[in-house]
Amino acid sequence: MKTFLRIALPLALLIAVPLQAQTTLGVKGGINIANVDTNVSDISDIADSKTGFVGGGFVTLGLGGLFALQPELLYSQKGFQADALGETAKLNTNYIEIPVLLKAQFKLAMLRPAVYAGPVVSFETGCDVSVADISVNCDEGGDFDERKKNEWGAVFGANLDFFLGPVTLILDGRYQLGLTNLADVPDSDDEAKNQVWQFMAGVGWTL
């Protein structure tokens, strides 16, 4: 029992050390694994995930104790792909995203794991459908011209910070759940919502 206490108590103190209120600026980038959740049978039966880029900047505002607020500004490539008639077609939708995350951070020596959640609003900056070397803008007609161009979602994730002097290296993984029905078809029950896994690495500087 004494041996357990000698090991457990210092470890508990390290984890429970309150984080000082501080500000961190940083950049991050990585990949999206995006798909669509839809009840449109012609799409749901063949839709598959596609990869894209995600990246941008963030600021982490320490709130004292374990908590911090982290607004971000990201460029994010979403959509999905489908195989039909021997060809791969892709819906490519690009967004500017603003997540606002509430984080619970736990400092342990040179490491700081954290979990977080929060809302995200996304503004479409481009949309096209591509097959082989042919690309068509979504607004030029077809199956995707009737759509909402802005959306709300929820983000759930975790990250791990590595402290290297004045620089912090960051590994980040999250799931983004689309809450907005993007199918803007009058008198229709069609639904389509973005679903995205995001994996990023970044670097931050504490002010």
Pairwise pLDDT comparison (5 vs 20), residue with the higher score = 20
Q: In whole angstroms, what is the distance from residue 160 CA to residue 147 CA?
A: 36
pLDDT at 114: 97
Closest-CA residue to 27 (of 182, 168, 190, 198): 168
| Residue 125: pLDDT band with limits 50, 70, 90 | very high
pLDDT at 128: 92
pLDDT at 15: 40
In whole angstroms, how far apart are CA 12 and each of 5, 9, 23, 96, 108?
10, 5, 25, 41, 9
Average pLDDT along the chain = 87
**Tens digit of each residue's pLDDT (9 = 90 or more) over 39-79:** 887 777 778 999 999 999 999 999 988 999 999 999 999 99
Record: fold of 2-206: Porin (2.40.160)
Please state the pTM of the whole predicted model: 0.84
Q: Is the pLDDT of residue 175 over 80?
A: yes
Please, are residues 200 and 28 in contact by the beta-carbon 8 Å criterion?
yes
Q: In whole angstroms, what is the distance from residue 174 CA to residue 20 CA?
A: 25
pLDDT at 142: 66
Q: How is the chain split into domains, by residue range?
A: 2-206
Closest-CA residue to 93 (of 123, 118, 121): 123
pLDDT at 18: 43
Q: Is the pLDDT of residue 112 over 50?
A: yes
Please, are residues 172 and 201 in contact by the beta-carbon 8 Å criterion?
yes
